[in-house]
Each structure stands twice: as structure tokens, then as C-alpha cells.
Amino acid sequence: MSNLLKAEGYKSVLNLKETELAIKKVKDFFLASLSTELRLRRVTAPLFVLRGLGINDDLNGVERPVSFPIKDMNEATAEVVHSLAKWKRLTLAEYQVEPGFGIITDMNAIRADEELDNIHSLYVDQWDWERTMKAEQRNIKYLKKIVTQIYSAILRTEFSICETYPQLKHFLPEDVFFIHSEELRQMYPNLSAKEREDAICKEHGAVFIFGIGGKLGDGHEHDLRAPDYDDWSTENEEGFKGLNGDLLIWYPVLNRSIELSSMGIRVDKAALLRQLELQGKENRKDLYFHKRLLNDQLPLSIGGGIGQSRLCMVLLHKAHIGETQSSIWPEEMRQECRDLGMPLI
């Protein structure tokens, strides 16, 4: 398969039985650690939502949700969630969560348009979290603080799993390097966005890239973002636009960068209106979620998602995400993975 990265000389450090046990240890430890770090309470989340309410995320704006008709609701259409960014904000309002506290849930999704490779699957499992914040916290300093706390929970989880399985060796750096996507473009003007990520992550080990979604100096976005959850258009105190970003690490097993989390300060009323106009989607103002936000019925918040299977893959030194989750793969990819010593679950 052309999309499959081949890890030269790869051999799984843990066998299948050890891997299954280790997956649970990683998930349990990280959930407890992050919940304590950010003061998050666990809530139950939906697998699907009704179409037409503006609750489901459209991610980059082009992915098609998996949908089905509901017999007992006059054939109303339900959509399997892509993520829970907007649902979580509605839940913060419903539970009346105070600033400084938040929620976390297990998000399970199907992304049928995903291009399958070592780190992308049809099945997506995330820790989706959202935290209420104050207006004066809508700045880069606060975002950096939250990113650092999340990364600290990742480091603690790595230490714990390496203590349990000494054959796994610590490789993550102690600190996160922060850079705006425009600074990164100027640093590597002749590289693509993905090549820039690889270059900066190889140098620093762990990187948070700000400002994902808005146009850069060359007229292109570093990556696409929908207009109605992350704030990628507000000018921040460092003179750049964007209060969101991606957390990436350099992964030596595959010799490439890997995104572990996409997150950000969410849109306020002004940012929502601006971003809907920038993307020509003003018609969304009449949807349920958007009307509640524009009518000041939703709290200001920060939130994101952290890939469960992907974090397990990285911390257990696996070469393919299919080694830490069960999904559907092309048979030729399964066979090639077997030949390369990557036994898919």
C-alpha cells in the first residue's frame, strides 16, 4: 500500500497479550491524570446526534458523516459524531460548570473519508474534554498553560508505563516548544505544511503549533478547520491570529511527526460571526448550536481531543495504529503489515 510507512527493522516490543494489558493501563492512568490536572469530571457522550442542529463537527469542512434514518422519529436522520466539540459546550451549559472546571468523555467516531495509513483509521477514539473559562483568559498565555498541563499528564503516563514494562524506553522530551504556524512557514518557506511539522518536531521533540485554520502569509492555511468551534481568527497578544493549535511529537519508530491532540480556545460570538463570514457559511447562524452561542446561552470554553489509540501506539512503541485498536483495513494492508512484523488487532 502506498500509504503505509515501513519501519525498518521493526519488531513489536510487547506481544499481543502484553499489548492488550498495556493499552488498558495507558488509558486508565492517562484519564485519571488528565482529569486531576485539568479538574475534569467524566460524563456520558452520544455516539450519534440529529442532523440539522449544528451539533456535529465537520472537522475540515469536507468529511461526510455516517448517517442513518430513525424509524420511530419519522425517518429523521442521525449522524455518527466526528467529534464532540460543540456537544461538549452545550453540556457545560446544561451542567452549569463553573470556570476552572470541565468535563471529559470517551468519544467514539467513524470517519469514513479518512485516508488509511499507519496513524489514520476509520475508527476514532478520543478523550474529548472541555473546560469553562473566563473572558480574560482568552489569550495565548492561558492556552500555553493548558497545553503544558496536558503534556505533563502524557509524560507521567509514559513514566508509569515504562516502569511497568522496562523494555519500553522513555523518549519524550521534558518540555513543549511553542511556535505559530506563520513563524513556522517563514522558517521553512520551501516546505509543505507537513514537511514543516516534521522538521520542527525532529528538532524539538514535542511542539505545539498555534493558529491552525486561518490563511498565512502565502495565502494558504497550515491546515483546515471548521468555522464554528476553534477560534483561529482572533489576533492574539503576540501579533498573530489564532487561539488554537495542534500538539505534535517526533516519533522515532516511524521517523516522522505525529499529532496527539488538536485543541483550542473556542469561538466567542465575535469570532463565530467572523469565521462564518470568512468561509461563506453565514447560513449556519440559524442552527440550534449557533443560535444559542449568539444569544449568549453558552459559556466561554477551551477544549480538545486526544487520540486514545494513537497515544497508546506512541507510548507502546507500535508502528501502526491497528496494533492498538480494532478496525477495518484493506486486506493488502493487513498482509503487508504481517510481512513487516506489525500484527493488526
* 113 included as an active-site residue: no
Is 221 a member of any domain?
no
132: three-class secondary structure by DSSP: strand
> What type of residue is 268?
D
Is 185 a member of any domain?
no
Q: For the segment 142-193, what is each residue's pLDDT rounded down to a tens digit? A: 999 999 999 999 999 999 999 999 999 999 999 999 999 999 999 999 999 9
Domain that holds residue 27: 16-168+265-339
pTM over 0.85: yes
Query: CATH number, domain at 71?
Result: 3.30.930.10
**Helix ranges, the chain (H):** 16-38, 85-95, 140-164, 181-187, 193-204, 269-278, 288-294, 308-315, 331-339
Q: Which of 117, 183, 259, 336 is catalytic?
A: 259
Is 231 a member of any domain?
no
- Max alpha carbon distance in the chain (Å)? 57
pLDDT at 27 over 70: yes
Strand partners, 262: 246, 305
pLDDT at 125 over 60: yes
Percent of the chain's residues with pLDDT above 90: 77
Res 171: pLDDT: 96
Is 228 a member of any domain?
no
Res 83: pLDDT: 78
Res 58: pLDDT: 62
Q: Kindly give the pairing relationship between strand 76-80 and strand 48-50.
A: antiparallel
Q: Which of 126, 257, 301, 309 is catalytic?
A: 126
Residues 40, 36, 46, 270, CA torsion sign = positive
Res 4: pLDDT: 86
Number of domains comprising the chain: 1
* 262 included as an active-site residue: yes
Position 237 confidence tier, pLDDT thresholds 50, 70, 90: confident
Res 43: pLDDT: 96
Mean pLDDT value across the chain:
93
The Cα 328–Cα 336 span in angstroms is 14
Chain centroid to CA 229: 13
Q: Which of 57, 197, 230, 268 is catalytic?
A: 57
Is 181 a member of any domain?
no
The Cα 133–Cα 97 span in angstroms is 10
Q: Which of 262, 308, 309, 325 is catalytic?
A: 262
Q: Which of 79, 231, 246, 323 is catalytic?
A: 246
Is 143 a member of any domain?
yes
Is 271 a member of any domain?
yes
* Residue 97 CB burial class (10 angstroms; 0-12, 13-18, ≥19): buried
* Residue 167 CB burial class (10 angstroms; 0-12, 13-18, ≥19): exposed
Is 269 a member of any domain?
yes
Res 145: pLDDT: 97
* 308 included as an active-site residue: no
Q: For the segment 196-229, what is each residue's pLDDT rounded down to a tens digit? A: 999 999 999 999 999 999 999 999 999 989 899 9
Percent of the chain's residues with pLDDT above 70: 98
What's the grid cell of residue 132? 469553562
Q: Which of 33, 79, 89, 111 is catalytic?
A: 111
How much of the chain is helix, strand and coil, in % rounded to 5?
A: 35, 20, 40
Res 114: pLDDT: 84
Chain centroid to CA 282: 26
* 57 included as an active-site residue: yes
Res 52: pLDDT: 80
Res 238: pLDDT: 81
Res 1: pLDDT: 46
How large is the average pLDDT for residues 85-89? 91
How large is the average pLDDT for residues 331-336? 90
* 326 included as an active-site residue: no
* 259 included as an active-site residue: yes
pLDDT at 20 over 50: yes
Q: For the segment 245-284, what is each residue's pLDDT rounded down to a tens digit? A: 999 999 999 999 999 999 999 999 999 999 999 999 999 9
What's the grid cell of residue 220? 494558504
